[in-house]
Amino acid sequence: MRSLLFVWAAILLIRAAPAKKLPTPPDIVAAAPASAWKTVPADDLLVMDLADGGRIVIQLAPAFAPVHVGNIKALARGNYWKGATVYRVQDNYVAQWGLNESDKPWPTGVTAKPPAEYTRPFKGLSVKPLGYPDPYAPGTGFWNGWPIAYNAKANWANLAHCYGTVGVGRDLSPDTGTGGELYAVIGNAPRQLDRVIAVVGRVVDGIDHLSSLPRGSEALGFYKDKAQYVPIANIRLASDMPVAERPAYEYLDTQSASFARYLQVRANRHDDFYIRPAGGVDLCNVQVPVRKKS
Amino acid sequence: MRSLLFVWAAILLIRAAPAKKLPTPPDIVAAAPASAWKTVPADDLLVMDLADGGRIVIQLAPAFAPVHVGNIKALARGNYWKGATVYRVQDNYVAQWGLNESDKPWPTGVTAKPPAEYTRPFKGLSVKPLGYPDPYAPGTGFWNGWPIAYNAKANWANLAHCYGTVGVGRDLSPDTGTGGELYAVIGNAPRQLDRVIAVVGRVVDGIDHLSSLPRGSEALGFYKDKAQYVPIANIRLASDMPVAERPAYEYLDTQSASFARYLQVRANRHDDFYIRPAGGVDLCNVQVPVRKKS
């Protein structure tokens, strides 16, 4: 029995809690004081329930794409997505949902042709810099819990396309997408999409309900048959749900000392498993801690 | 009908073939001459067939982890993996397979305690440099079709942990893993694993059979019940399969002019969709083209 346990331990890729060594990122998150956590406003939480019961929760980013996020809120409140499905799942790229080939009219409050909210001004953002080089932008770091890329001199900033990032499907320029068709990144960070598409948020819970879906066999991962479409029961703002039913989330304040330590250790793992600290980390590998509020 | 088609086009995230614009990466791959492609040796192709018929094909990398790769070939030839399963799927990280809690003896030819093949000497490798900064290593680029990170001065190089990279599950140091338990990356490139684990190859086909599996609910993505384990019918080297049944693959020579152009365009997408070329690209977002030989 002992040898069986040993063998089971031997196949663990990473040990969960090394003893008497430097703290791991989860250790630092667990030790962060309550004051280091910030609650996501209920009005910025989009709750998508699949017909099979799987729940995906998205934090919206009105500070970066106010018109598109306004549209998404109007679409949710106007029950636009009744009958929506996940109709495209492309491996190592995105899962996309909405009404697909629909010509349903937009509900009240929707701006049909939003401006190109691909960047916003950098000035005025209090940023925790990543501190390591990035191939896509002169600066990267974190603002209010979000991974961002920026150019201070040219005065632009954008939400980075990381795993879980949610963006707006669009046609060719100058179309920017209205917000009815959304995608979530389910693969390696496609940073080449930064600044060419409107990012409206990120999945904070339940992304496995998207990432584990069968991949579509058609070009770009579209499902071939409508029978493969994954039905969505409803998409609501948490603020429109009965208070007792609302999910709530909090994220580690990226200006906190806890986050600074977390970032440092993400870049310099040095416990029993990580025998060689990397001395650096990629923006999208930092993964700002987000947790459900109980 | 025309408007329906228009709306359908409108939800495409990326148009497949823009006209009268700069070539896209797929355009360059399609135009590459036969001389720019190199065949993967059949002795370096590990063919894993799931019981449900899904096939995953892995290219092994004997130049980087010769003892571990030798072990994997001996394990395949010795039918060690009879009864193996995929027993761990952790979202945005890895899928792992093997015999799990087994104390089955190693077949002939297996080195039970291989050396730490986490890096190899850089000297002697003809590398196509990426040309953009990387947070994990002073140098990155491509050697013989593989994405690598390196330090020329310190004379080390390693296969980078990108989407699809296959490595050897191990216990804590100094254990390096024997090769019986393998994982494939199914999420954002976990480059923090570079140089702390033996990388033995990459999935060149069928990774969706791993990436779309249900995620395990236990710590580190282990499945809770053995009933959830995904059975593997067999794992063989292509060179041990009947010639008529062997799959064959070729990759774009990373020293070719076609690859240089491909790399340039991956870093500077500029077609109808990509209105702002990034001017850079991450090592793991280049994705060396690999295709099935017919």
What is d(CA B249, CA B53) in angstroms, rounded to the nearest whole number?
Answer: 19
* Residue range B206-233, pLDDT digits in tens: 999 999 999 999 999 999 999 999 999 9
With CA atoms as reference, the chain A residue closest to B179 would be: A11
Within 8 A of A221 by CB-CB distance, chain B residues are none
Average pLDDT over residues B53-62: 98
Exposure string for A129-151, b = 16+ CB within 10 A, e = fewer: ebebebbbbebbbbbbbbbbbbe
Cα separation, B205 vs B202, in Å, equals 9
In this predicted structure, the answer to whether residue A18 has a pLDDT above a threshold of 60 is: no
Q: Considering only residues 103 to 122 of chain A, which have any Cβ-Cβ distance to chain B shorter than 8 Å?
A: 103, 118
Q: Which of A11, A170, A223, A276 to mutate to test the interface with B (most CBs of B within 10 A)?
A: A11
Establish if B19 touches chain A: CB-CB under 8 angstroms. Answer: no
pLDDT in tens, B251-274: 999 999 999 999 999 999 887 778
CA atoms within 13 A on the CB side of A155: 3
> Taking all residues of chain B, what is their mean pLDDT, rounded to a whole number?
92
Interface residue B53 vs chain A (CB under 8 A) = no
Contact B276 A195 (CB under 8 A): yes
Which chain B residues in 162-201 lie under 8 Å from chain A, judged by CB atoms?
162-164, 169-173, 175, 177, 181, 183, 187-192, 194-197
pLDDT category at A14 given cuts 50, 70, 90 is: very low
- B192 neighbourhood in chain A, CB within 8 Å: 266, 269, 274, 278, 281, 285
- Contact across the interface for A196 and B15, Cβ inside 8 Å: no
Nearest to B91 among A188, A211, A278 (CB): A211
Nearest CB to A191: which of B102, B214, B282?
B282
C-alpha B269 chain-centroid distance: 24
Mean pLDDT is lowest, of A212-216, B66-70, B102-106, for B102-106
How far is A132 from chain B, CA to nearest CA, in Å? 6
Q: What is the mean pLDDT of chain A?
A: 92
Q: Which residues in chain A have their CB less than 8 angstroms from residue B190's CB?
A: 285
Taking only the tens place, the pLDDT of each residue in A200-239 is 999 999 999 999 999 999 999 999 999 999 999 999 999 9
The 3-state DSSP class for residue A55 equals strand
Q: What is the mean pLDDT of residues B20-24?
A: 75
pLDDT at A272 (0 to 100): 72
Q: How, if at all, do strands A55-60 and B182-185 pair?
A: unpaired
Please tell me whether the interface predicted TM-score (ipTM) of this complex is above 0.90: yes
CB spacing of A11 vs B215 below 8 angstroms: no
Please, what's the b/e burial string for A191-225 (b: 16 or more CB within 10 A of its CB; e: otherwise)?
A: bbbbbbbbbbbbbbbbbbbbbbbebbeeeebbbee
Q: What is the pTM of this model?
A: 0.93
